[in-house]
Structure 1
Amino acid sequence: MNAIKVGLIVGSLRKESINRRLAGAIVKMAPAQLQFEDIPIGDLPLYNQDLDTALPEPVQRFKQAVESAQALLFVTPEYNRSFPGVLKNALDWGSRPWGKSSWPNKPAGVIGASGSPVGTALAQEHLRLVLAALDVPTLAQPFVFVQHAEGLYDDSGAIANQVVRNFVQGFVDRYAAFVTRHVG
């Protein structure tokens, strides 16, 4: 099977982000046919419609990276019961200018980690609503809300807790099948 290029978008800018760590663990768990490419969002300016006619260079790079991806994986924290503003800003830039959205028909997965027992449940729900408006089909099940705790990852970055690893592996397997169906 041909490789599938997956754009990886982490909704946290923090260097030691637990969601970036989760993304790294997922990449290790994924089948070899999924080739992940990080799509950074930290250098995007705040969305301003006045710039739609002359997109800033970081926006052009971002849109090109999204457009070159065959599928997407969003890994999001939860801030104040929703996904971070920096991720919303990226989604807005990717949808602009009007009529030139970079998002449509890219199959996507949504996952996230938080210190909360309910993980990123509300952030993921809000993100799924926005992705639906952008015509991004998302994997419906399983919902995976990872509760981050000390010792969750081993020294190699893999998920050390067997129960959590099996649960996340179930997500990864379903995501890979979903993407393969949509891209293939």
Structure 2
Amino acid sequence: MKIGYIIGSLSEQSLNRGLSKVLVEEAPEDVEFFEIPIKDLPLYNRDFDANYPQIALDLKAEIEGADGIIFVTPEHNRTFSASLHNALEWASRPYGQLSLAGKPVATIGVSPSGIGTAVAQRQLRSSLLFTGALVMGQPEAYISGIQAEITPDGGINDGGREVVSQWVNAAVKFIEAHK
């Protein structure tokens, strides 16, 4: 099974990039995780609809070719990042060409705050439902970077790793059941 993941932070030093490394490490042996990059996407503008740039076509193709997608989201000002929103715009356009429609997806994220990325994930799930994605509801995982001692290079303490491992296994089962 092939599962794509999209990291909502553009920073190479992002805690969410570190979290994505833990997700890959904790994946079952028969699952291949691959990153779907979004950092070089131009800002979406419907003027592109008649002539999509190759990078946006590649984004759509990678989403469509995956069995499922995991969104690894930071929380910026109590919402998900502008870069992630931009990627969703590209994936859901031109009108009627929803790359995420019917695709099983799951959300996870880490932030330094005590509530992790709860607000960002809630809003992200709402946007994903609008695109027609099949969104995993439970279990939820709002990782506190301080409690889990997560680092941008994928370091995490044992308690945090256990939470992520359980979540990854649930996400894989969800995707398998809905692909």
Structure 2 distance, partners of 1:155, 1:178, is 27
Which aligned pairs between 1:90-105 and structure 2 lie closer than 5 A? Answer: 90-105=87-102
1:171 equivalenced with 2:156 (yes/no): no
- Residue aligning to 2:106: 109
**Residue from 27, 30, 54 that aligns with 1:30:** 27
Deviation at 1:57, TM superposition (A): 1.6
- 1:156 CA displacement: 7.8
Paired AA for residue 117 in structure 1: G
SS in 2 for 1:174: helix
- Give the aligned partner of residue 139 of structure 1: 136
Give the residue type in structure 2 aligned to 1:135.
Answer: G
- 3-state SS, counterpart of residue 55 of structure 2: helix
Q: In structure 2, list runs of 5 or more residues that go unmatched.
A: none
How far has the Cα of 1:38 moved from its partner?
0.7
Which amino acid in the other structure matches residue 167 of structure 1? V
Hey, what does 1:15 align to over in structure 2?
A: 12
> Which of 1 and 2 has higher RCO (CA within 8 Å, sep 6+)?
2
CA distance in 2, matches of 1:81, 1:156: 25
1:111-135 alpha-carbon deviations (Å, 9 max, x no partner): 0000000010000000000000011
**What is the TM-score normalised by the length of structure 1?**
0.92
* Matching residue of 1:181: 177
TM-score (norm. length: structure 2): 0.94
Identity within the alignment, %: 40
In 2, distance between residues paired with 1:127 and 1:66?
A: 17
Q: What 5-or-longer segments of structure 1 have no aligned partner?
A: none
**Number of equivalent positions:** 179
DSSP 3-state at the match of 1:112: strand
Paired residue type of 2:164: V
Structure 1, residues 45-103: CA drift from partner, whole Å, max 9, x if none?
Answer: 11100110100121111111111111000000000000001100100110111121211
Contact persistence 2:19–2:152 (CA under 8 A) = no
Measured in 2, the distance between the counterparts of 1:155 and 1:26 equals 13
RMSD: 1.8
* C-alpha spacing 1:49/1:156, structure 2 compared with 1 (3 Å): closer
Separation in 1, partners of 2:32, 2:127: 25
